[in-house]
């Protein structure tokens, strides 16, 4: 029997992408198990959703910095993910940049979802950046994480229309709904081994 593909999910927020992934696992469309859920925010909704599903879920204090983990925290994240024998680290609304140990320990095995069609609008509040810029099509991107910000090889993208009546909230909601479909599909392809890298290009078998 082949070994179960083990996911470690990291997030800082309400955890709607976590829920979409957990539901796909439960439905059998994502052939993996969620081995560990970690957050840098003690009261993150993501941790509550994980505990409701009786999944191992842990808060790890991020340390002194605002936008990244300090060294001690990053060691703690790596140790927890390694102890859980995680195959893939899935960032689901994790709002800190990964710089050091974690990137090295899981090189090529970390993915992220971002609420824009990258390389447009990296960084924060991308749906608002898109609306302010006046684009007619927005969307979301799943990509491998490298040392840059929102710039690793792109695994999948889903476009959504921008309506004349949109507010930042309504556009964000439409992007979020697209994320909940795209992320489980991309993680499932990784779990099945259906994806390989050719330079910056991600090829789906």
- Give min distance, CB of 3 to ligand GAR, in A: 27
Q: Is 8 in the site for ligand GAR (CB under 6 A)?
A: no
Cα–Cα distance between 203 and 148 in angstroms, integer?
Answer: 21
Cα–Cα distance between 197 and 36 in angstroms, integer?
Answer: 26
Q: Is 39 in the site for ligand GAR (CB under 6 A)?
A: no
- Asked about 176 being catalytic, the answer comes back as no
**DSSP, residue by residue, the chain:** -PPPPEEEEEESS--HHHHHHHHHHHHTSS--EEEEEEESSTT-HHHHHHHHTT--EEE----S-SSB--HHHHHHHHHHHHHTT-SEEEESS--SB--SHHHHHTTT-EEEEESS-TTSS-SS-HHHHHHHHT-SEEEEEEEE--SSSS-SPEEEEEEEEPPTT--HHHHHHHHHHHHHHHHHHHHHHHHHT-EEEETTEEEE-
Q: Which of 17, 35, 39, 129 touches ligand GAR (CB under 6 A)?
A: 17
x/- site string to ligand GAR, residues 160 to 189, per CB under 6 A? ----------------x--x----------
Of these residues, 49, 54, 75, 114, which one is catalytic?
A: 114
- Give min distance, CB of 158 to ligand GAR, in A: 11
- Give min distance, CB of 169 to ligand GAR, in A: 12
Q: Is 113 in the site for ligand GAR (CB under 6 A)?
A: yes
Q: Is 30 in the site for ligand GAR (CB under 6 A)?
A: no
Q: Which of 8, 9, 10, 15 touches ligand GAR (CB under 6 A)?
A: 15
- Give min distance, CB of 2 to ligand GAR, in A: 29
- The footprint of ligand GAR (CB under 6 A) covers 11, 13-17, 92-93, 113-115, 176, 179
Report the catalytic residues.
114
């Amino acid at each position: 029997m082949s070994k179960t593909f083990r996911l470690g999910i990291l997030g800082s927020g309400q955890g709607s992408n976590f829920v979409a992934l957990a539901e796909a696992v439960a439905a059998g469309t994502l052939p993996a198990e969620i081995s560990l859920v970690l957050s840098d925010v003690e009261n993150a909704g993501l941790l509550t959703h994980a505990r409701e599903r009786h999944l191992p879920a842990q808060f790890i204090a991020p340390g002194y910095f605002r936008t990244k983990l300090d060294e001690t925290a990053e060691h703690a994240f790596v140790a927890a993910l390694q102890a859980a024998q995680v195959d893939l680290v899935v960032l689901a609304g994790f709002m800190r940049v990964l710089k050091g140990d974690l990137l090295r320990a899981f090189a090529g095995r970390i993915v992220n979802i971002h609420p824009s069609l990258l390389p447009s609008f990296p960084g924060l509040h991308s749906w608002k950046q898109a609306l302010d810029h006046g684009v007619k099509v927005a969307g979301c991107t799943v990509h491998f994480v490298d040392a840059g910000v929102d710039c690793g090889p792109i695994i999948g993208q889903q476009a959504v229309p921008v309506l004349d009546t949109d507010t930042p909230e309504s556009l964000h909601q439409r992007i979020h709904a697209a994320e909940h479909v795209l992320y489980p599909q991309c993680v499932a392809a990784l779990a099945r081994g259906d994806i390989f890298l050719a330079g910056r290009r991600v090829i789906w078998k």
